[in-house]
Amino acid sequence: MRYLPIDKKLFQQNRENLKKLLPKGSVVILQSADQMPRNGDQFFPFRQQSDFFYLTGIEQEETSLLLFPDCPNPAFREVLFIAKFDPVAAVWEGHKLNPAEATAISGFPKVQTNETFEAVLQEVMNYAETVWLNNNEYIKFFTDVAGKQLRLAHQLREKYPLHIYKRAAPLLTSLRECKSGEEIDLLKKACEITHKAFKRMAAFVKPGVYEFEVQAEMEHEFTINRANGHGYYPIVAGGADSCILHYNDNDKQLEDGDLLLLDFGAEYANYTADLSRTLPVNGKFSARQRQCYEAVLRVFKKTRALYVPGNTVDAINKACWQMMEEEMIGLGLFTAEDVKNQDEAAPLYRQYLMHGVAHPIGLDVHDVGSKFEPLKSGMVLTCEPGLYITAEKIGIRLENDILVTENGPVDLMADIPIEASEIESLMQ
């Protein structure tokens, strides 16, 4: 791993918090992420499943955990299973964790090899009443690939059909949505690296360079600052492509007079930042570009103030959309009379702002949490109003990461330039 070691107390405390939510007779069984095939004999770089990392800190594949707080056999109340050392594999693939190393990282008092998993499970299932299993429950994610967690669920239900099976995801969501002090520090580090990358890119951008060259500057800065890499595939979108919300071809040449929309974030210790900025390719906004930019910036500042305990993402979205609607009228995109006569099912502002403006971040760029649940102190969310005028090749998105506290919003990216004049100065 590139990042500096994390105190194992973080993962121990996360497990203790989960145990407190479990009724008597409960066993939690979670597994690490799959190694994902790329092509031929290659795998994609391994990235640990977020819940598993949250509870263990372990970055290795072929790993399982078992939590059974009131197991009659004390040896099986908290067990981590790892791959057995294989000297041949070590020559080809490198070092794998031994039990002592796994304990040092995770704080698990008992670490066994995978060969013992079935025997331990056989005994544990005789004592347990309820089995808590996990799956990816992100509501907007769809896949035809059955992950390891889902395969485990099918296997256990077939072998042990008389137990009660429950979803661990709601419990883990309730824990992960509010970040601990240690987690906030990791997010701040991700934001700091993202800031460095932004400054480097802003100084590099000029007419004639390619989007992928800008991306290379970003990735260089990530790497030399110990980031895992990207928290999500970056958007480096010039000209008309700045109006494509999830554009990531990143292969066009930047042209004089265009805007460049950047949406990216460094991932540090699996915690990701999420930043959006919009730059004038030639270093100076045109009058119309600046007019549009200032409109989005005004709404950004007003929206950021709404990140307080008790508010909801849904309410923030609606308030921001209304503010952007007013700005759009001022920009001449439509009139107040047009708004009065619009189809309520297809409001006019949706032609120029098609997305929500807040989502949680953490171990995932779109982290756990509901847009309908009240915000609580310790949550970290994005604030990202935008404006997309395809006919004018104007795509603007401004995004910072905001920590919710009892004393008001804390902008974790407050030191990253965002004023139009700051952007122009930075590009000089």
Reported as a single tens digit per residue, the pLDDT across 19-37 is 999 999 999 999 999 999 8
Q: For position 19, what pLDDT does the model report? A: 98
Identify the sign of the CA torsion 130, 133, 137, 141.
negative
Reported as a single tens digit per residue, the pLDDT across 332-348 is 999 999 999 999 999 99
Could you tell me which residue, 87 or 413, shows the higher pLDDT? 413
Residues with Cβ < 8 Å from 67, sequence gap 6 or more?
A: 15, 18, 19, 22, 27, 28, 77, 78
Residues with Cβ < 8 Å from 145, sequence gap 6 or more?
A: none
Torsion of Cα atoms, 237 then 243 then 247 then 250, to 10°: -20
User: If you ran DSSP here, which 8-state letter would residue 111 be given?
Assistant: E
Q: What's the chain's length in residues?
A: 428
Q: For position 136, what pLDDT does the model report? A: 81
**CA angle 268–368–97, rounded 5-degree value:** 45
Reported as a single tens digit per residue, the pLDDT across 227-254 is 999 999 999 999 999 999 999 999 999 9
Q: For position 191, what pLDDT does the model report? A: 98
Give the separation between CA 24 and CA 22, rounded to whole angstroms: 7
Specify the pTM.
Answer: 0.96
Reported as a single tens digit per residue, the pLDDT across 166-181 is 999 999 999 999 999 9
Reported as a single tens digit per residue, the pLDDT across 44-70 is 999 999 999 999 999 999 999 999 999
- Strand, coil or helix: 76: helix
- Strand, coil or helix: 247: coil
Smallest CA-to-CA distance from 361 within 266, 277, 274 is with 274
Mean pLDDT score, 382-395: 98
Smallest CA-to-CA distance from 359 within 321, 402, 329 is with 402
Give the separation between CA 58 and CA 61, rounded to whole angstroms: 9
3-state secondary structure 313-360: HHHHHHHHHHHHHHHHHHCCCCCHHHHHCCCCCCCHHHHCCCCCCCCE
Supply the mean pLDDT for the chain. Answer: 96
Reported as a single tens digit per residue, the pLDDT across 354-385 is 999 999 999 999 999 999 999 999 999 999 99
How does residue 147 score in pLDDT terms, banded at 50, 70 and 90? confident
Mean pLDDT score, 201-224: 98
Q: Are 339 and 329 in contact (CB under 8 A)?
A: yes
Domains delineated in the chain: 9-176 (3.40.350.10), 181-426 (3.90.230.10)
Mean pLDDT score, 97-117: 96
Mean pLDDT score, 128-146: 85
Q: For position 357, what pLDDT does the model report? A: 98
